[in-house]
Structure 1
Amino acid sequence: MSEYALPRKWSPKTVAVIGLRVIVAALFAAAAFAKIAGLPQMVQEFDTIGLGQWFRYFTAVVELTGAGLTIWPSRSAYGAILLAGVCVGAFFAQLLALHADVIHTIILGAVVGGLAFLQRSQLVQAR
């Protein structure tokens, strides 16, 4: 089956994984576009972090890359792993620099980690 072919039978797991991929990609793409647009809250947060505004753009590019990979069927596990890394970075930024709520980064990190786990066969096939 090619990477673009749809499965003949859609199992509940397949539907759930595809739905989760779309939701995760949309969330991270929206966050990336907020950073690129320079929303005042984003600019202020990255000023507080102290690494400069270049880091806001870098984070947006990483988030967009992860969102794109998450949508791409044969590379979705790699996108989820990349976005899990973003969540780890956001956790430490929230905890150490912003002194804000970290529960959202933990939950989102668990979701993208679970998405990577559900698609772990992609990682094994790459060898």
Structure 2
Amino acid sequence: MSRTHPASPTTAHPATTTGLSRRADLSVWVLQILLALFMAVPSAGPKLVGHSSATAAFDQIGLGDWFMYFVGALELAGAIGLVVPLLSGAAALALIGLMAGAFATQLIVFDGRNALTPVILAVLFAVVAWARRHRTAELLALLRHRPA
């Protein structure tokens, strides 16, 4: 069995198997990390600790504290998923769904005051979802072939 030197032309860098250049792959990773930090700290954090700003907003929504904790848990799970390679594409897709709900809530409950924020985040999550679509395909293939 022969070994191939890491710099040899027959060894593909992971970024080249995704159709992204090495620089683009690194840029998407930076985006994923920044989005994960945003979703975990200033977004999920106040909800999960019951900060007064979050409780006031969710009181206005009218679904109670359970919904605030639920949304915070979804945001934290999405943030974690963004930095797990196999889950990154699926997490980005799930967060797009969450942002659709946030957008609707901003329009319906809060008169559109911050409606642009979930739209911008959804676009950024869409970039990640598209760039990591091969990971989502891998995840689906694994789930389909899971032994019963």
- TM-score, normalised to structure 2, is 0.77
CA displacement at 1:123 relative to structure 2: 2.1
Match in the other structure for 2:93: 81
Q: Secondary structure at the match of 2:64?
A: coil
Query: Which structure 1 residue ranges, 4+ long, deviate > 3 Å from structure 2?
Result: 6-10
Please point out which of 24, 30, 40 is paired with 1:29: 40
- 1:1-127 aligned within 5 A: 7=14, 11-30=22-41, 31-99=43-111, 100-125=113-138, 126-127=140-141
Following the alignment from structure 2 to structure 1, what is the Cα–Cα distance between the partners of residues 137 and 48? 35
Q: CA RMSD in A?
A: 1.8
**Matched pairs, number:** 122
* Counterpart residue identity of residue 55, structure 1: F
- TM-score, normalised to structure 1, is 0.88
* Counterpart residue identity of residue 100, structure 2: V
Fraction of identical pairs, as percent: 30
CA displacement at 1:117 relative to structure 2: 0.9
Gaps of 5+ in 2: 1-12, 142-148
Which structure features the higher share of helix residues?
Answer: 1
Gaps of 5+ in 1: 1-5
* Counterpart residue identity of residue 63, structure 1: E
Larger gyration radius, structure 1 or structure 2: 2
